[in-house]
Structure 1
């Protein structure tokens, strides 16, 4: 191994610059394989310095290639450097470009590019790279290469990375300190390594390779045992990512954007993203995660975009960067952070700025999300407390609490049964504390949204027990508004709400006024919002992603500032069902059970009653190779007559769509039209039918629900509520 010895005399003075940790047995094993003449795979991941930029030719004279050559002829190099990228983008490509190569040794370099990465991201994204490497099926040895710009400045990102290396017991090279020691010893000059402040020249690449070789050599001196991964310092959000690129990057709504724009020349397999040249171009995408970012090009020739997640604030995607003359840069711009780790809607549009009317392009190449965490890692704004004696608790039947929906008396005196999704509590209070008490005899977990002063906080209430949930962080002084809304559909979970507790001295105030309009929906899984937040295929194992408050009916009510009542059950129909019950058996009950009490007509009747049924009347028999029941039309008519009898003054809207039954089975739209014709022929003019144009072949996700809500809102405003 004589090719490592050059410079070892100086290395003796650099013990603080290169550190081989006692726990780094993986690196020791790799070095022993090299000493034995066995082949290894070396992978390097980083930005333009890792690609060999400014060396000639880069892929042959960059530090990665030089290091591989110095380690011997049996070293296979996988150079996963991509210019202009940081650790946040690297997490998204780590599996395909590094881990799939099953490397024995990985050198990670992002000290320079992460200096320009959002400081709120760089700790989590870089740590995620280390954790994903160390948790791989075949964990490689990992070496952290801490590079800085010329003169060892600035160091924020590098110092963070070196601390992470120490935390995980990894060998690390602080190249800035290594080089500064040579400068102090009079054996080297920073100016000899750089022709500009950022990228080392050919000599600089030689020095990096030399320093790494010396660092690897020190790893042979320890025989400690490798330990399990320690707890993360910056959370685990970036271990769980999703990349929307190429064919997966498809807007669900688009006006003015077309396929095009620059691709990254070093990112193998990339296809053009989306670009626009008109001032009013806008596109919307379905995304997931607690952090959503757009990966886009920047240069002197592009113009700016702006984007937001859901109804959040707009942020600028800076495409026009005048200092990037003659070459493209690439940027990971966070649009939404600290989001609920579920599905969201991303809106991107061309920014109206000084480049309006210029015809310059604006583009995006990919959407990168993080924080799609498994259930065990989801955090909550609430902490569970032991049940108390209820002294000072405000009971659920207090007159100052406003309830919206079909809500029955609960399991205990003064409690309320919350079965149907969309069941809502509205209140106003003072004080800095809030606790909520629930019980459940049902097996399923009930997911709620607790909205305090407009901020939505998820809360999972387990079945089969009594639980109390206290808000972790104190509220501000003054008045507060509260909405407690059940997300989980009734057939999957029920819960009784017992009451709430405020801070000492806190007061429950008069409730918010009722909304002027009330909508009541009857339907199946589409109306219930089943699977509407699922990341991949439809699933029923984790109902956190099934959210009735983001189904089309609830969204329509929000758009119209209306109270919402949702009576919806997955798999149900008028003539067929995937389960045991038909809608005519449960439509007027407090819960979708035959032992649930029938609910009397609401004291405040809905202004509009809407029904969306038929998907399962077709889907269930079709799964057995059968046609829809021949008496579907008269039985559907009988069901609608029941709605009319219950609400003689309401406007009725018969809906079809969201999935494909109405396309596949003509008997469904035909039956709806016949019902409308029959009722109107009998003098009932307050009945309409509407067929959604937005649909999905599987259960619709929130993007399809958003389109359905837009359609239905327009229809109600122009045809029904006028």
Structure 2
């Protein structure tokens, strides 16, 4: 599922009014004719830099055009060889918009021809939209270039279509030139010494054609900015480069490698000559691409996002003889617009042992969308009594987690993060029915046939959500997991609808193990997908399914129960309640009933508390409570009483409290020693080495899951 597809159907935004492009251009040209200072900016690839004109920056088409317009026209040339509109989206602000141009000419017809067709529409359109909606919006002209002979035209025709959609003046240079050739007044061969780059004469012709375009009479009026044709992913980009491109795990890579000589401020990326080099990075967005070097002397890398397919980063390009090139290679597309893990490694190929470098300069991501633009695979429908509803209490639905009874008969209350439903069914349609009296939006991961579809269900509402696209024939698997932590949302699941003739099948088999985690915001996955600082305004990137406990359970084939609340502790809390007050309830509130022990007891119970016992008094300049250790032990004894046969693992870490406050690891060690001294051999302690100073993101959670999985396999489950 491409999460950007159909975003316009779900979008209800006021589109800004912009000055019509022809009017804006006429105003600039009047200033040029009046001898007023004007800033002309151009953005494109090597043709825009003036490549093949001598000297390029002085005699390329942009410089020739600027001089023809007069001495008071200042030129800002943001051409960068080997780049396309996708890379330009990442450099537009710093290299062009910060110069506050009056007139901008956009050229990517040739380089976009080599850009992934699924990307170039969105990326080029994003350039136009960002220019038109800039705080000081310039006049914009689209320059549609082709290679010699006016072929191929795929990228150019798309760009001209977008120019027409936004009412922008445009030059189709291929057609302009072909008309001259057809009239017998010019020759393609006179403009090119090789197929791609125009020579000095070619640059003169481009400048001549542009000068005519700028003088073309037209009239228009102010109008609303039209809706995007190709999506808006590349309006929301993130550049990981230099100090912001740091792997959370690395072997064999070192800081360095070539930097683009025409890219101002670019910092070294990562390079290696080792055959087994690999690195992992934390990134954000719905599209992830690697900007890497290519030449006859480089070798190939390969990369993937999360558990996606491996994609070759073609660093070895024999055609790049004596010339270092650059390429924007998409590694993941149609991703959920949130945090992801990028894995890069040297490709095992014929160049193994060659000592050739493999180099990546940057990671470029797009589609880090604001809430209003996030797509959904589901559409909301109006509930009409839900005839034919398969209730949540149906025995063919398998539940995992601490699932509460709801006030409505046959419904289930989902409170704790990680609460999970699994089912098997036939039919091509699926709808899900919910209601909520809680204020918070509940974010769910709805997994159908292994494909995860996020769903945001509003609080204080009764809603039904229908899958937009029909499923295929045959059997399907369904998994619904609550991502949002308990205090932030409570949701009633009433049941599901299937297509006419669809059937709910026998439930999936139970998982072989069951894990139960008690913790705070670390265990809940709070802020684990946030970009920048921790925040609680938008809980979409707070994903309990990607917290270390849920990841560990998934790796070891265990059902997951997550009893976790941000800010909570044993002796201190940032909220109102302590964990000993709510640990055994259906919800983290005192009016919630105590849940009876599950008929299937957990195999392993984990406790990761203490961060807030240190952090909350620390905000007041105080130390951890002097009775933390005995109260911690008392809580562990409560767990043991509820689960007499479970293995208990007392955890510390994920953040820095255990480093800052020695009383925390000491309390854990004392608890284990006390219980073992009483004959309880089924208790362990483990301290995570992976940690973060703010809330851990999914890279740290992944490392924590790596550690905990190894510990369980070697010490606890053996």
TM-score range (shorter-chain normalised) is: over 0.9
Q: How does 1:523-542 map to 2 (within 5 A)?
A: 523-542=519-538
Instruction: Report whether the alignment pairs 1:117 with 2:100.
Output: no
Instruction: Tell me how far 1:86 sits from its aligned partner.
Output: 0.3
Which secondary structure does the structure 1 equivalent of 2:421 belong to?
Answer: strand
Q: How does 1:701-720 map to 2 (within 5 A)?
A: 701-720=697-716
Verify the 8 A CA contact 2:20 2:223 in the aligned structure 1.
no
Partner of 1:448: 444
Partner of 1:606: 602
Separation of aligned partners in 2, 1:545 and 1:535: 9
Instruction: Tell me how far 1:390 sits from its aligned partner.
Output: 2.2
Separation of aligned partners in 2, 1:439 and 1:656: 37
Question: Quick check: 390-399 or 572-581, which moved more?
Answer: 390-399
Aligned residue among 146, 149, 164 for 1:148: 146
Instruction: Tell me how far 1:23 sits from its aligned partner.
Output: 5.0
Instruction: Report whether the alignment pairs 1:271 with 2:261.
Output: no
Provide closer, same or farther for how the CA distance between residues 103 and 22 of structure 1 changes in structure 2, counting only shifts above 3 A: closer
Partner of 2:240: 244
Verify the 8 A CA contact 1:24 1:226 in the aligned structure 2.
no
Q: How does 1:395-406 map to 2 (within 5 A)?
A: 395-406=391-402
Q: How does 1:22-171 map to 2 (within 5 A)?
A: 24-171=22-169
Partner of 1:615: 611
Instruction: Tell me how far 1:519 sits from its aligned partner.
Output: 0.4
Which secondary structure does the structure 1 equivalent of 2:488 belong to?
Answer: coil
Separation of aligned partners in 2, 1:626 and 1:43: 57
Partner of 2:197: 199
Separation of aligned partners in 2, 1:24 and 1:238: 25
Post-superposition CA distance 1:96-155 (Å, at most 9, x none) = 001111100000000000001111101000000000000100100000000110111111
Verify the 8 A CA contact 2:21 2:139 in the aligned structure 1.
no
Verify the 8 A CA contact 2:399 2:420 in the aligned structure 1.
yes
Instruction: Tell me how far 1:389 sits from its aligned partner.
Output: 2.0
Instruction: Tell me how far 1:636 sits from its aligned partner.
Output: 0.4
Post-superposition CA distance 1:189-219 (Å, at most 9, x none) = 111111111001111111111111111011x
Separation of aligned partners in 1, 2:61 and 2:31: 22
Instruction: Tell me how far 1:411 sits from its aligned partner.
Output: 2.9
Separation of aligned partners in 1, 2:598 and 2:350: 56
Post-superposition CA distance 1:271-315 (Å, at most 9, x none) = 211111111111000011111000001111111111110001111
Separation of aligned partners in 1, 2:472 and 2:406: 32
Instruction: Report whether the alignment pairs 1:227 with 2:252.
Output: no
Q: How does 1:244-323 map to 2 (within 5 A)?
A: 244-323=240-319
> Where in structure 1 do 4 or more consecutive aligned residues deviate above 6 Å?
none
Partner of 2:691: 695
Separation of aligned partners in 2, 1:127 and 1:249: 27
Instruction: Tell me how far 1:22 sits from its aligned partner.
Output: 7.1
Separation of aligned partners in 2, 1:474 and 1:60: 57
Separation of aligned partners in 1, 2:179 and 2:515: 73
Normalised TM-score (structure 2): 0.97
Q: Which runs of 5+ in 2 are unaligned?
A: 1-18
Question: Quick check: 612-621 or 181-190, which moved more?
Answer: 181-190
Separation of aligned partners in 1, 2:641 and 2:20: 79
Separation of aligned partners in 2, 1:388 and 1:256: 60
Separation of aligned partners in 2, 1:51 and 1:424: 56
Question: Quick check: 98-107 or 175-184, which moved more?
Answer: 175-184
Verify the 8 A CA contact 2:21 2:140 in the aligned structure 1.
no
Partner of 1:12: none
Which secondary structure does the structure 2 equivalent of 1:506 belong to?
Answer: coil
Which secondary structure does the structure 1 equivalent of 2:209 belong to?
Answer: helix
Provide closer, same or farther for how the CA distance between residues 22 and 350 of structure 1 changes in structure 2, counting only shifts above 3 A: closer
Partner of 1:630: 626
Partner of 1:339: 335
Which secondary structure does the structure 2 equivalent of 1:244 belong to?
Answer: strand
Verify the 8 A CA contact 2:516 2:604 in the aligned structure 1.
yes
Separation of aligned partners in 1, 2:23 and 2:690: 56
Provide closer, same or farther for how the CA distance between residues 222 and 22 of structure 1 changes in structure 2, counting only shifts above 3 A: farther
Q: How does 1:379-458 map to 2 (within 5 A)?
A: 379-458=375-454
Partner of 2:468: 472
Q: How does 1:661-676 map to 2 (within 5 A)?
A: 661-676=657-672
Post-superposition CA distance 1:594-639 (Å, at most 9, x none) = 0100001111000000000000000000011110001100100100
Partner of 1:15: none
Separation of aligned partners in 2, 1:393 and 1:338: 32
Partner of 2:321: 325
Instruction: Tell me how far 1:186 sits from its aligned partner.
Output: 1.7
Post-superposition CA distance 1:657-693 (Å, at most 9, x none) = 0000000111100111010111111111111000000
Aligned residue among 641, 644, 666 for 1:645: 641
Instruction: Tell me how far 1:535 sits from its aligned partner.
Output: 1.2
Partner of 1:4: none
Verify the 8 A CA contact 1:517 1:563 in the aligned structure 2.
yes
Verify the 8 A CA contact 2:21 2:169 in the aligned structure 1.
no
Provide closer, same or farther for how the CA distance between residues 395 and 33 of structure 1 changes in structure 2, counting only shifts above 3 A: same
Post-superposition CA distance 1:486-513 (Å, at most 9, x none) = 0000010010000011111111111011
What root-mean-square deviation, in Å, do the aligned CA atoms of Structure 1 and Structure 2 show?
Answer: 0.9
Equivalenced residue count is 700
